[in-house]
Amino acid sequence: MVITTARKPGAQLEAEAREIAREHGLAFLPRENRSLDSLIAEYAKVLVLSNRGLSCFTAQGELFFHPNMAAVRLRMLRKGGRDKMLDICGLSPGDSFLDCTAGLCSDSLVAKYRVGEGGRILALEQSLPVYLVMAHGLKHVRPPRFQGLARGIELVNGDFRRILPQLPPRSFDVVYFDPMFDVPVMEASSLVPLRPLAADQPLTREDIILAGRVARKKVVVKERVFYDFSQLGLTRAGGVNRKTAYGVLDLVEDKDED
Ligand SMILES: C[S@@+](CC[C@H](N)C(=O)[O-])C[C@H]1O[C@@H](n2cnc3c(N)ncnc32)[C@H](O)[C@@H]1O
């Protein structure tokens, strides 16, 4: 993977790209007049900083930050509508939410809307290119109505399997996973450029145990509708839509039963 700029970058853009390269141990490549196709053929993953933001190009397309998916859900919520993920997670203002699979950060943005300024969202992303694109996007997002939400998300580059054991017990109300599906939802076109860059190891029972130590109220997993949540020790919750379903470990209920 390399980082470059748009053609004819200003000095500031080039300095910013060089700084990202230095900070993350990447090779900086002066763009000169090279086509994206030739860069992708040579390097497979090409980060490009332009006035539009930071994108990552692969043969599968361009990954860039766009709050569109979250925007549709936020519009519904602002109109008094409901959101399936928020309902299942049972998030309230002031709660803390650990998003173990940040991806495009749509779920984190929606969660931030619900928990508000007094709540905390920590989002973990294992893939360096995905993290860099989203971190840049969250920092520079326009329009202004997203800025408060975006800047309220703490995005960290790391593997949840390494980070969960370092977090104090019961330190987040909800711990959430939305892993890459083995069988992709084909219509989810925004995920197509994410797929070649994403970490895609399936969840295991050990992961749920790690998460259950850190969660106060719930561990929630999003999966395909035909997924067998019992293999993770989870209970299917809230019905299903046509394509996805949620599995839950309800820690408050479990405690009440003791
Ligand atoms: C389906 S996407 C998540 C989409 C996200 N919920 C959203 O709203 O945009 C899954 C993401 O989890 C990341 N991921 C997978 N395994 C991970 C791990 N062990 N630690 C951190 N991130 C991981 C992938 O790289 C990918 O970006």
Q: DSSP string of 196-214?
A: TTS--PPP-HHHHHHHHHH
pLDDT band at residue 76 using 50, 70 and 90 as cut-offs: very high
According to the model, what pLDDT value does residue 137 have? 96
pLDDT band at residue 255 using 50, 70 and 90 as cut-offs: low
Q: Is the pLDDT of residue 42 over 50?
A: yes
- According to DSSP, residue 175 is labeled E
Point out the ligand 1 atom lying closest to the alpha carbon of residue 109: 8
d(CA 90, CA 171): 16
Q: Which of 126, 160, 186 most suits a substitution to test ligand 1, by most atoms within 8 Å of the C-beta?
A: 126
235-247 mean pLDDT:
84
Do the Cβ atoms of 162 and 130 come closer than 8 Å?
A: no
Summarize pLDDT for 139-197 with one digit per residue, the tens: 999 888 899 999 999 999 999 999 999 999 999 999 999 999 887 776 667 788 999 99
Q: Which of 89, 101, 185 most suits a substitution to test ligand 1, by most atoms within 8 Å of the C-beta?
A: 101
According to the model, what pLDDT value does residue 190 have? 73
Point out the ligand 1 atom lying closest to the alpha carbon of residue 106: 8
CA 10 to centroid of ligand 1, rounded, Å: 33
- According to DSSP, residue 257 is labeled H
Give residue limits of the domains in the chain.
2-51, 68-257
Strand ranges (DSSP E) for the chain? 2-5, 27-28, 46-50, 53-58, 61-63, 96-99, 120-125, 153-157, 172-177, 215-224, 235-240, 244-250
According to the model, what pLDDT value does residue 243 have? 82
Q: Is the pLDDT of residue 64 over 60?
A: yes
Summarize pLDDT for 114-134 with one digit per residue, the tens: 999 999 999 999 999 999 999
According to the model, what pLDDT value does residue 145 have? 83
CA 151 to centroid of ligand 1, rounded, Å: 19
Q: Is the pLDDT of residue 256 over 90?
A: no
The topology (CATH level 3) of 68-257 is: Rossmann fold (3.40.50)
Q: Is the pLDDT of residue 135 over 50?
A: yes
Q: What pTM was estimated for this model as a whole?
A: 0.95
Average pLDDT taken over every residue of the chain: 93
Torsion of CA 57, 61, 62, 68, to 10 degrees: -160
| More confident: 190 or 216 | 216
According to the model, what pLDDT value does residue 182 have? 81
Residues paired with residue 223 on neighbouring β-strands, in sequence order: 245
CA 177 to centroid of ligand 1, rounded, Å: 8
- According to DSSP, residue 26 is labeled P
- Could you give the percent of the chain with pLDDT greater than 90? 84
Q: Is the pLDDT of residue 257 over 70?
A: no
Of 148, 153, 158, 139, which Cα lies nearest the Cα of 100? 158
According to the model, what pLDDT value does residue 129 have? 98
According to the model, what pLDDT value does residue 148 have? 92
82-98 mean pLDDT:
97
According to the model, what pLDDT value does residue 67 have? 85
- Measured from CB, residues less than 6 Å from any atom of ligand 1 are 100-101, 103-107, 124-127, 130, 159-161, 178-180, 194, 198-199, 201
Tokens of 254: 């479990």
According to the model, what pLDDT value does residue 258 have? 46
40-58 mean pLDDT:
97
